[in-house]
């Protein structure tokens, strides 16, 4: 049985790593060093790889407190905007504060033949 292609969210393209990759790919396309189709395949691979690595390798936990400014739910995506947020690492170590934080949470997409979520 052939494996079906799974689509991944493009959320991490707006991260600093994703933006650097996108800028580099744009430069390579402009210089006619790669085709736009190849750039799209690279971005799709990036979406898959970063999602899998974050899911499998990152084990750190933290708690945070702040004031909820706005929230919305649209197309299975929650967006929360918080003010005056304090993050605390699980082991009681480092504390980080931020004036504003945006959290985007997406529904897990089915990845298995039986429709189990990631």
In a domain, residue 1? The reply is no
| Residue-by-residue pLDDT tens, the chain, 118 positions | 344 456 788 888 989 999 999 999 999 999 999 999 999 999 999 999 998 998 899 888 889 999 999 999 998 889 999 999 999 988 777 899 999 999 988 876 655 444 444 4
CATH number of the domain enclosing 76: 2.30.18.10
Q: What pLDDT shows up at residue 55?
A: 87
Q: What are phi and psi of 78, to 5 degrees?
A: -95, 135
The model's pTM = 0.66
Q: Tell me how far apart the alpha carbons of residues 61 and 109 are, in angstroms, rounded to a whole number.
A: 23
Assess whether 40 and 75 both reside in one domain. no
DSSP per-residue string spanning 3-20: PPP-----GGGGSHHHHH
Q: Tell me how far apart the alpha carbons of residues 59 and 57 are, in angstroms, rounded to a whole number.
A: 6
In a domain, residue 30? The reply is yes
Q: How many domains in the chain?
A: 2
Q: What pLDDT shows up at residue 69?
A: 96
The answer to whether 84 and 66 are in contact (CB under 8 A) is yes
Give the CA radius of gyration of the chain: 18
In a domain, residue 115? The reply is no
Q: What pLDDT shows up at residue 68?
A: 96
Give per-residue burial for 102-118: e unless 16+ CB within 10 Å, then b: eeeeeeeeeeeeeeeee
Assess whether 20 and 39 both reside in one domain. yes
In a domain, residue 112? The reply is no
Q: What pLDDT shows up at residue 56?
A: 92
Token pair 């936990």 is at which residue? 61
Domain limits at 47?
11-57
């Amino acid at each position: 049985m052939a494996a079906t292609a799974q689509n991944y969210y493009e959320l991490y393209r707006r991260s600093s790593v994703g933006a650097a990759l996108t800028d580099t790919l744009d430069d390579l396309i402009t210089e006619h060093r790669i085709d736009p189709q190849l750039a799209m395949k690279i971005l799709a691979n990036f979406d898959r790889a970063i999602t899998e690595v974050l899911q499998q390798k990152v084990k750190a936990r933290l708690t945070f407190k702040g004031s909820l400014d706005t929230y919305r739910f649209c197309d299975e995506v929650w967006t929360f905007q918080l003010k005056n947020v304090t993050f605390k690492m699980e082991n009681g170590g480092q504390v980080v504060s931020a004036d504003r934080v945006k959290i985007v949470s997406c529904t897990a997409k089915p990845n298995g033949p039986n429709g189990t979520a990631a």
